[in-house]
Amino acid sequence: MLTPKFICDELSDLDILRKSLVAVDYFSCLYDRYEKQLLRYVKRVAFATDEEAADILQEAFIKIWRNLNAFDQRLKLSSWLYRIVHNEAISFVRKQKSYGKDLRVSWDENLYAEIPDEPGAADELENRDKLTHRLLAQLPESYREVLVLKFLENMGYEEISDILKIPEGTVATRINRAKKAFRNLAEHS
C-alpha cells in the first residue's frame, strides 16, 4: 500500500511520524516532504555531486527510519531531520578529506537551468553564485555550516542551534565570525 500524496499533504509532520511507526508506507510522506530541501542542503554544505548527495540523503533516511522511536516529539521534526542529514554530510566531507579527495570543488550547472536568458543578468548572477560557492568552500567547516543554514536555508538561530547541537549564543558568534571571514575572503579574491 503506497500512501497517496494527497493524504500526505493533509498530515502534520508529527502525524506522519506517528503513522510511520505503525505503517511503513507513511515514511514515504516524510521523505517526499523533505527530500528537495535536504538534498539542496547536502549539496551546499558538503559540496557533493547530485549522485553523492542522493547517497548521503539515502544513508541519512536509513538512520532516520532506525531512530524514529527515539525522536523527542517535543522538538521540531525538521530540526531533527536536518541534524541527522547534517551529520551524514559532515561525515562525507571528513571522509573526502581523509582520502585527499577534497582537492576538487564540483559545481552543478543544473542549479541554473531555470534562470531566464536575459542578456548579462543571468551571467552576472551565475558568476556571483560561483564566487559565493568558491568562497564558502574555503571557509572552515564550522563557519560554512552556519552560513549555509542561516543565509541559504533561511533558518533562525534556535533551529540552527538544534541542528548543530550548540547554544544559540555560539550560533550568533559563529555567524558573526563566519561573515567576517567570508567578507575577508571576498575582498582578497
Shared domain check, 89 and 21 = yes
The domain boundary, picked from 66, 90, 106, lies at 106
pLDDT tens string 19-57: 999 999 899 999 999 999 999 999 999 989 999 999 999
| Residue partners of 188: CB distance under 8 A and separation at least 6 | none
Q: Give me the pLDDT at residue 123, please.
A: 57
pLDDT tens string 143-153: 999 999 999 89
Question: Cα(78)–Cα(64) distance, rounded to whole angstroms?
Answer: 11
Whole-prediction pTM value? Answer: 0.74
Count how many domains the chain has.
2
Shared domain check, 182 and 132 = yes
Asked whether 2 and 25 are in contact (CB, 8 A), the reply is: yes
- Domain coverage including residue 75: 1-106
Quote the cell numbers at residue 102: 577534497
pLDDT tens string 74-131: 889 999 999 999 999 999 988 887 655 544 544 455 544 544 555 555 456 566 778 8
pLDDT tens string 50-66: 999 999 999 999 999 99
Shared domain check, 189 and 122 = yes
Write the CATH number for 130. Answer: 1.10.10.10
